[in-house]
Structure 1
Amino acid sequence: MGFSVNRALAAPFAMLAIAGTAMPAAAQDAATEARLKKAESEIRALQRRVFPGNDGRYFEPEITAAQPATTGVARPSTTAVTDMLARLDALESQIARLTSQTEENTNAIAQLGTRIGALEVTSGAAAAAAASAIPAAGPSPQGTSTPTGGATRPAAVVTPASTTAAVPATTRPAGPTAQRLAAVQAIAKPQTSDAGDDEYSYGFRLWEAGFFPEAQQQLTLFVEKYPRHDRISYGRNLLGRAYLDDGKTQEAAPWFLKNYQTDKQGARAPDSLLYLAETMIAMNDTKRACIALAEFSETYPAIASGRLRGQYEADRRKVKCN
């Protein structure tokens, strides 16, 4: 009798104990399911951002659990919690991959924008240089054209003397005066063990003295003869300045652009990019001037706020950029 009473009392306590252990497991399942739904919604948002269109070419419309391979060997069964944790691990790995892909796409787009801006500057400078190379058509010299109507002009009218007189004197390039030649010869060319540095320094002295055509010739010799010299960045930049200071903006722009693009870490690459903006301003090309100024501030922020700050701010005041 006593034994039956004890069994009757013990049964309810056993049921309570079983229910007590089941409640934490149910709460854990609910939390895991909420975490899983949140992860799935985040990965769908990332998929729409990385692969817009959602046309099924890049990913499945809905994420489904991987189907286990069917084999003849029986596999141990897994609980619902184990399945959800495995799905969560897979989702978190995919989220990490999509986030990395998004960052790579953003960087690629930024670099593409920079390259397009540089290409626009290059094409504009090349077009301007090509236009300047085409000689303008002028009137034909007297005595060289054949009349289309009327009486034929006697041959005796055209004489060597009259032909010479008909050619304008301005068509013959005037040579440098004796005074200018003497002034140029007075500028000494350095003679050191570094022949390349001597060529550059002589070009610098000519430019500093205001003999821009002579400096252009000397600096062209330097950059063509010593393309790997330590002073090459200085030489290309100064050659562009020699043309710019001489009022030849179409010849100056390609040298500034080349010096910047060839070696962006060169000693005078920042200067060339800023002078390229000034050249575009002088050519009334506001669009390319703004592109050059924007790229200068983005590529060389320390120099824009340091060594070339005054020149950069002065150039920005000359144009109105969006």
Structure 2
Amino acid sequence: MRLALIAALLLAGSAAPVFAQEAGVGQRVDRLEKEMRAVQRKVFPGGTQQFLEADIGRPAATPTPTGVPASSPVEDLSARVSSLEQELARLTGQIEQNGYKVRQLEEQFARFKADADARLNTVEGNAPPTAITPGRQSPSAATPVAPATPPGRAAAEPAAPPAESASVDPGEDAYLAGYRLWEQKKYAEAATALKDVVAKYPKHRRASYAQNLLGRAYLDDGKPGLAAEAFYANYQKMPRGDRAPDSLYYLGQSLMSLKPAKAADACKVYAELIDVYGEKIAQPLKDRVAKARADAKCGA
């Protein structure tokens, strides 16, 4: 009896470390599984949110010769921990690679957008647009009448537009298409395309550009009456738009192109431009307004 009791105590003493080891490894497995699920949610957002058992499951048992004992639970748990750690390292590396690729795409798009804005501002004869605060909404200009003879180009011919490139912005693409038609002196086609831009994308940042360029297409096509209406609409409906100050300048030019020229009304438009936008006007536009006032004999 005493021998049986002593044997039982010895067995219990030797099993305790094994059970403690199994419990410690089990906690590591639970912790790693939680980390794996968190990593998988980052790598596969919107997925099934399920644990990838195939990648981290218990290693397949290999046949053992007859008489050799099977692996212990501790060894099985250790194998699972190793598999989990390898999978976690792989997914962490994938997250870092995906983040790097996303940053590269964002930087490329930002460079493309900045380059497109700069070139469009250059070819349309303006410095980069600045924030503006409108004042009065309407210039005191007479109602435009039908044109008689076509005027000359209102500004020097611009350089080539930005090169074709893939875009995810249909409003930008539509504006560039209209711009290229205007540059090719296909004024009727350009007018149609630019009107569509304003109609389809009235809240787009290029809507002000499109409405202003619509007026220029009419003006270059010898239609100062329609041009004046287009320029006035841009200033009236989008006074905070990037091309609202330009539209006031070209409205004055349209009035001067009518037969007979309406110099007095043009002077009122130039005064409105200075009164509403003042020092916020870009310097190239300031220079053109000063010359236009002198041509119209607007006085001090």
TM category (shorter chain) comes to: 0.3 to 0.5
The two structures have a TM-score, normalised by structure 2, of 0.46
Query: Whose radius of gyration is greater, 1 or 2?
Result: 1
